[in-house]
Amino acid sequence: MIANGTRADGSRPVRDHRRVLAAVDAVLDMAAQTHAVTVDDIVQALADRRRRPIEVVYEDLGPGVWGQRREFPDHDRIVLARSLPNVTRTLAHEIGHIVFRHPGAAVSEATLAADDDLIAYMLSQRSSSWSDPDREALHEWEAEAFAVRLLQRLGQFDRGDDWRPLLCFDEALG
């Protein structure tokens, strides 16, 4: 298996729980070394470790979009929806995309002058046209599995959320 989750023969991407657990362990090791105790602290520690700033901002995003990672030439931006029911979980998910080096939405400085609806449309067209649906699904699974395990290890799940059945079911299906 290749590090990006595809098989050595180039066939369909596969889910790899060991890869996710190793990523969570690496992030928590970094967090312990830098005394990062919250997800916000982890964002800063990750930015410092990568020597690439990570900016977290809140914007109005399209329906059903809770967060995005945008790549700029000199930094990353995590955009979170203003109306998020769980900021920590979405932030952890977007950190997963960064940790796994999934491609973010490439944003040129020229698009910053465009209105939010145009930017959302352009990003949706980009995601539906450039990528392999299997790879995109794998990236979302990896980011979500990373977020769930990171928050589980940090003990930061909301008391009303019980993710054990989801984790067990997901691991059983592979």
Tell me, what's the pLDDT at 64?
83
Is the confidence at residue 150, as pLDDT, over 90? yes
Distance between the two ends of the chain, CA-based, in angstroms?
15
Amino acid letter at 68? Q
Distance between CA atoms of residues 34 and 50, nearest Å: 13
What residues contact 92, with CB distance under 8 A and at least 6 apart?
Answer: 39, 146, 147, 150, 151
pTM exceeds 0.85, yes or no: no
Percentage of the chain exceeding pLDDT 70: 66
Q: What pLDDT digit, counting tens, does each position of 49-108 carry?
A: 999 999 999 999 888 889 999 989 999 999 999 988 889 999 999 999 999 998 876 554
